[in-house]
Amino acid sequence: MSATLPYTKATLDNGLDVIVHEEHACPVVAVNLWYHVGSKNERPGRTGFAHLFEHLMFEGSEHHDSGYFRPLEEAGGALNGSTNADRTNYWATVPREAVERALWLESDRMGYLLPALSADKLATQRDVVLNERRQNYENRPYGLAMMVLAAAHFPSPHPYHWPTIGMPADLHAVQLDDVREFFAAYYHPGNASLAIAGDIDTDEALALAARYFAEIPAGPPPPPVAVPTASSGASASLPLSLCLEDRVELARVYLTWRTTALFEAGDAELDVLADLLAGGLSSRLHRALVRDRRLATDVSAWQDSREIAGLFAISATVAPTARAADVEAVVEDALARLAFEGPSGDELARVLRSAESAAAALLQRVGGFGGRSDQLNRYNVYAGTPGYLAGDLARYRRVDGNGVRAAAARLAAERRVALSIVPLGSTGAALPGAVPADVS
């Protein structure tokens, strides 16, 4: 695939980065805005604010004190937003003639949200978020797994300790002045990146961005994120095995390691290792656990790369006639083999093809999650340049057998946290030695 994504970048006097990508194949334009704020910018006792604002930003601003979906959907557009630990994004893909409407709405909530922010809106969206937490975490099978594992790997007050959706007590306690202060600190042009992609001329797009956003004050530099130094005590190096009872039919085992941050040395190798282990029906763990020995009904592996640190995870649902310890042994053997002998050339080629195919699929569209506009903002915010696509793909093309061996060996040497999620009343189905997990 082509490793170039043409763009023009300009920065307004108020600090807003504006990125334009022309693509005239379809008469649509994507408006994509990233704020460099996520749950890591919160603090203990004040969690869930970034995700709460993802909701509040759709509820109206001073000059459009109504919902944001209707005016864009009426114009034939689609829109959404999301929040994670490191960023918040909003996107709208609209017909060519509706691009000014999308830009005006986006600029109004950036510059004029607070005059329309009321106690009633806050209370309503807080209830929505609390219900979302119940649906997506507390009442979903295995839904608390990553919450428990993140808390174990990143002890408080590390900014990855709490979930993006926030802690219920913090959400109940939040006051209007708290969220006003949070908005003023992070939701301004100096902490944002705007991508406009699709059927629009570059000069026109830059002029429209200036028309709608230039008057908004830059805002103060965001406060730095406080990251505690890693503990050097014995407890930080010992493996930890946890158990959580849940309303599930089958036990599931998670084996996890704290790893390197996004784009840092070793990050790409861990991505490749995850694909080798569980990426598809021909992967090592799928063959060993699901197809051949039938110890698990499914298996997956992934490297969750974030700005400060990453988390490598292997998950397998234990088959009804198998034991969690048997699954663990197969995973450990697969890692040990890769650490000793590395992957074959055919395996590496398959993984590279998979990575390039996934990237190409995302770039087929200009808007939406992962589309061209989203990728330009992602690289601009995380790598400092919208044009990092070529560098990103080059990381994977440089991965060789020695790099994969080193990645697998590093996992064997690093502290591991295991989590067994088991049916209610079935703690005996957990890994041996597992202790009850603390769920907040």
* Per-residue pLDDT, 233: 34
Tokens linked to 215? 């008057």
> What is the chain's Cα-based Rg?
23
Q: Do 243 and 202 reside in the same domain of the chain?
A: no
List, in order, residues 6 or more apart from 379 with CB less than 8 Å away: 385, 386, 387, 388, 389, 392
> pLDDT tens digits, residue range 397-415?
999 999 999 999 999 888 8
Q: Do 198 and 248 reside in the same domain of the chain?
A: no
Q: What would the mean pLDDT of 101-129 be, rounded to a whole number?
A: 97
Q: Do 143 and 279 reside in the same domain of the chain?
A: no
Q: What would the mean pLDDT of 376-399 be, rounded to a whole number?
A: 96
Write down which residue in 151, 181, 213 finishes a domain: 213
Q: Do 89 and 202 reside in the same domain of the chain?
A: yes
Tokens linked to 4? 């170039």
Q: Do 130 and 12 reside in the same domain of the chain?
A: yes
pTM for this prediction: 0.95
Write down which residue in 153, 184, 213 finishes a domain: 213
Residue 169 lies in a domain: yes
Residue 223 lies in a domain: no
List, in order, residues 6 or more apart from 99 with CB less than 8 Å away: 29, 31, 196, 200, 208
If one counts the domains in the chain, the total is: 2
In whole angstroms, what is the distance from residue 308 CA to residue 225 CA?
Answer: 10
Output the domain CATH number for residue 382.
3.30.830.10
Q: Do 310 and 195 reside in the same domain of the chain?
A: no
Q: Do 166 and 313 reside in the same domain of the chain?
A: no
Residue 225 lies in a domain: no
Residue 3 lies in a domain: no
Q: Do 328 and 415 reside in the same domain of the chain?
A: yes
Q: Do 189 and 249 reside in the same domain of the chain?
A: no
Residue 121 lies in a domain: yes
> pLDDT tens digits, residue range 53-93?
999 999 999 999 999 999 999 999 999 999 999 999 999 99
Q: Do 128 and 253 reside in the same domain of the chain?
A: no
pLDDT band at 235 (very low <50, low <70, confident <90, very high): very low
For residue 131, the SS3 value is helix
* Per-residue pLDDT, 229: 79
Q: Is the pLDDT of residue 362 over 90?
A: no
In whole angstroms, what is the distance from residue 55 CA to residue 126 CA?
Answer: 9
- Residue 168's domain comprises 8-213
Q: Do 164 and 261 reside in the same domain of the chain?
A: no
Residue 31 lies in a domain: yes
Tokens linked to 123? 């209370």
> pLDDT tens digits, residue range 9-45?
999 999 999 999 999 999 999 999 999 999 999 999 9
Q: Do 286 and 432 reside in the same domain of the chain?
A: yes
Residue 203 lies in a domain: yes
Q: What would the mean pLDDT of 209-222 be, rounded to a whole number?
A: 97
Residue 229 lies in a domain: no
CA dihedral 245, 246, 252, 253 (to 10 degrees): -40
Q: Is the pLDDT of residue 238 over 90?
A: no
